[in-house]
Amino acid sequence: MRVLGRRSTPDNPEPADETPAPARQRARLPFYIHWPSLVALVVLIIVTVFAMLSIRGALPDVVATWWPVAVLVIGVLWFLASLVRRNSRALLGSAALIGVAASLLLAAQGIASLAATTVGVTYIAIGTAIILRGLLMRNQPIS
């Protein structure tokens, strides 16, 4: 059923105008939403909540022990996606996330403290990403 510009009346059963009425447009927001940044912000908030609950001991032991694996999986998927897209900035960012997630996993498992491993493991992961970038994306600028 079409919506017409002018409807039929009892006096005039045929509509006089066959042009469709203009569709209503949704009001535009006064700002632009950058969706990747919004998703990153939400993920950061979730990770922070899990870290705070883990420190307070409010999480069950299984969740407290293995939640950094979820962060590690997200980092690995981001790393692989950035390799496929040949995006060097995302490659370095995902490597940093993998390093932090590995440090969180080591701390959650009781292998080493978070303070002792965060900087070292993150630097190792970023250095590995720089080497991979040099080998796989040799002729691409960092952009």
Q: Which of 41, 46, 4 is nearest to 22 (CA)?
A: 4
pLDDT given at position 77? 94
CA distance 36 to 27: 23
pLDDT at 92: 86
Cβ burial, residue 119 (10 Å; 0-12/13-18/19+): exposed
Instruction: State the pLDDT at residue 59.
Output: 83
Q: What is the pTM of this model?
A: 0.63
Q: How many C-beta atoms lie closer than 10 Å to residue 78's C-beta?
A: 19
**What are the CA-CA distances from residue 63 to residues 5, 108, 128 (Å)?**
60, 10, 29
Q: Look at residue 88 in the predicted model and tell me its pLDDT.
A: 81
Say what the pLDDT of residue 11 is: 64
Angle at 78 between CA 111 and CA 93, to 5 degrees: 75
pLDDT of residue 19: 64
Query: Quick one: pLDDT at residue 89?
Result: 83
Q: What is the pLDDT along the chain (143 residues), one digit of tens a residue?
A: 555 555 556 666 665 556 666 677 777 778 888 888 888 889 889 888 888 887 888 888 888 788 889 889 999 999 999 888 888 888 888 898 899 899 988 988 889 888 888 888 888 988 888 888 888 777 666 65
